[in-house]
Amino acid sequence: MNTLTTLFGGLAAVFVLYAAGGFVRGLPLALRALLAGLIPLLAYFALIVGRWPGLDVAAIHISVFLAAALVLFALTQFRRRSGGRMHWAPKLLTAFFIGLVFLNATLLYIATQGLPEPVARWWLGSSDGRAVYSGFSGVVAHDQSAAKAVSSELSQLHRESQLGWQVEVSGFEATGRTRPIEVRVKDHTGLPVANARAEVHLLRPGAPKPVSTLSLDPVEAGVYIGTLAMPAGGRWLAEVRLLQGDELRYHSTQEIVAP
């Protein structure tokens, strides 16, 4: 279940529960709004057990569900005090809240799925018929230590070129959220590398830490396989890492899109 479904589904549940609470006699208005916001939120927390979507996604659900309940509470209070006619202030508040929800949903969609391809092509254009847009933010983190990271990355690339390993990776081009990955490794003489440890790190574009790490199993000399499972749709970065002991010998990053 994707984030937009849980976000708007939960928002609809808030409205339904708040309306249903109006048929319960003696139910205080504040408690009615609180229950309307908390019940979908608790249901969402139960849904993501074992499938943590990230603090940013969870925070958006919390703010939207509770804010929706608060706005409904305020609107009902205004209506009761004005005798049925609503002042322009609560109308403006409602319009602002609805716009904010759709803005957050749009930003959340772009953060996880990327821009829709027709929009990206129109907005960002293309070069020689090839797309120039991507969710890949680069191999170096954009922080205060970026200069040091660039030097470290260049040193690593130099060591890899000196090592001369020939690495073939297949499986990322498959469709679906579960993809069989195979990595074939040969040294500079063409002989298979049998004493390496192969891993695939899965992370979101721009995220500092991987969501999951897959250790590939050696099936024969120089051949490592495993099944990569993506917990959600959208754009992902898959980083293949080959190590000997604790020393990183090779790494490459590829952008993949899950449905």
Q: Of 51, 82, 113, which one is at a domain's C-terminal end?
A: 113
160 and 107 within one domain: no
Lookup: tokens for 136: 């890949």
Alpha helices by DSSP H, listed for 127-238, are 146-163
- pLDDT tens digits for range 102-118: 787 777 777 666 677 77
Query: Per the domain annotation, does 79 fall within a domain?
Result: yes
The 10s digit of each residue's pLDDT in 25-64 is 888 999 999 999 999 999 999 988 877 777 777 888 888 8
| Number of domains observed in the structure of the chain | 2
pLDDT at 31: 93
Residue type, 54: G
Residue 87: both structure tokens together: 């002042």
Same domain as 161, residue 108: no
Task: Select from 54, 87, 113 the last residue of a domain.
Answer: 113
Range of the domain at 215: 156-258
Shared domain check, 109 and 12: yes
Q: What is the largest CA-CA distance in the chain?
A: 87
Written as one string, the DSSP assignment of 182-194 is EEEEE-TTS-B--
Among 230, 242, 237, 234, smallest CA distance to 253 is for: 237
| Model pTM score | 0.53
The answer to whether position 149 is within a domain reads no
- 41 and 104 in a single domain? The answer is yes
Let me know if 115 is exposed, middle or buried by CB neighbors in 10 A (0-12, 13-18, 19+): middle
The domain that holds 212 is classified in CATH as 2.60.40.2550
Q: Evaluate whether residue 201 is within a structural domain.
A: yes
Verify that 175 and 93 share a domain, yes or no: no
Per-residue confidence (pLDDT) for residue 236, from 0 to 100: 85
Alpha helix segments (H runs only) across 83-139:
88-113, 117-124
